[in-house]
């Protein structure tokens, strides 16, 4: 649905300050949705995949990265195009800090209200420690919107239902305290 690059595979209503490469190779600042709706394809890929999967009796799992390397509001992340070393805590820029948190809430709401029942939400990456309570709030929001959803634990820790060890199969899977994939 949305990987670290921030590109949304559904027609999100959220806006972001971003950049676009011009024909001459330079970049210009833009404000856009940064989604499939702004490409020549224009179709809602998530909607099409959900419909096709359900048509074949499959469950629906959506992937969503907590971070965004393209959006100015996520400038605390050192991999972000707009990285700002002076923007590392809420007190550095409270309005910008609140914007990245609200944007995720808005996008999670779109994903979990637009396509009917969603079986799992595969969250990825984490936010800074100072934003941890807000990340937990995102998990609580997801459960209010989809009471039967399973959540991957990345970024939401104990609020998650399952985990995915990165690049390894655990030597002793019985030592993992929850289901894993």
Whole-number average pLDDT of the chain: 93
Place of tokens 């948190």: 101
For the segment 75-100, the average pLDDT, to the nearest whole number, is 92
Instruction: Give pTM, 2 decimals.
Output: 0.91
CB 7 within 8 A of CB 35: yes
Q: Which strands form 150-151's sheet, in the order they lie side by side?
A: 61-65, 120-124, 150-151
Burial of 138 (0-12, 13-18, 19+ CB in 10 A): buried
Query: Residue 167: is its pLDDT beyond 90?
Result: no
Query: Residue 86: is its pLDDT beyond 90?
Result: yes
* pLDDT computed for residue 50 by the predictor: 98
Parallel, antiparallel, or unpaired: how do β-strands 16-21 and 27-32 relate? antiparallel
Residue 91 vs residues 97, 128, 175: alpha-carbon distances, Å: 8, 13, 39
Query: Residue 82: is its pLDDT beyond 90?
Result: no
* pLDDT computed for residue 21 by the predictor: 87
For the segment 39-51, the average pLDDT, to the nearest whole number, is 96
17, β-bridge pairs: 31
* pLDDT computed for residue 173 by the predictor: 79
* pLDDT computed for residue 48 by the predictor: 97
* pLDDT computed for residue 151 by the predictor: 96
**pLDDT band per the 50, 70, 90 thresholds, residue 74:** very high
* pLDDT computed for residue 41 by the predictor: 95
**pLDDT band per the 50, 70, 90 thresholds, residue 87:** very high
Distance of alpha carbon 111 from alpha carbon 114, whole angstroms? 6
Percent of the chain with pLDDT over 70: 100
Give the DSSP letter of residue 82: T
Burial of 156 (0-12, 13-18, 19+ CB in 10 A): buried
* pLDDT computed for residue 113 by the predictor: 98
Among residues 82, 75, 64, the alpha carbon closest in space to that of 100 is found at: 75
Distance of alpha carbon 124 from alpha carbon 138, whole angstroms? 13
């Amino acid at each position: 649905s949305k990987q670290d690059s921030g590109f949304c595979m559904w027609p999100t209503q959220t806006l972001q300050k971003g950049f676009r490469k011009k024909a001459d190779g330079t970049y210009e600042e833009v404000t856009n949705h940064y989604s499939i709706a702004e490409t020549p394809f224009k179709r809602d890929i998530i909607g099409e995949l959900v419909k096709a999967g359900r048509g074949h009796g499959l469950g629906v799992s959506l992937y969503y990265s907590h971070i965004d390397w393209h959006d100015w509001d996520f400038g605390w992340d050192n991999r972000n195009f707009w990285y700002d070393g002076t923007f590392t805590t809420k007190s550095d820029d409270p309005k910008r800090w609140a914007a990245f948190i609200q944007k995720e809430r808005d996008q999670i709401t779109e994903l979990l209200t637009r396509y009917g029942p969603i079986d799992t939400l595969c969250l990825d990456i984490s936010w800074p420690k100072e934003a941890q309570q807000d990340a937990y709030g995102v998990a609580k929001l997801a459960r209010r919107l989809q009471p039967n959803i399973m959540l991957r634990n990345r970024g939401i820790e104990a609020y998650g239902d399952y985990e995915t060890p990165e690049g390894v199969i655990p030597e002793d899977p019985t030592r993992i305290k929850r289901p894993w994939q």
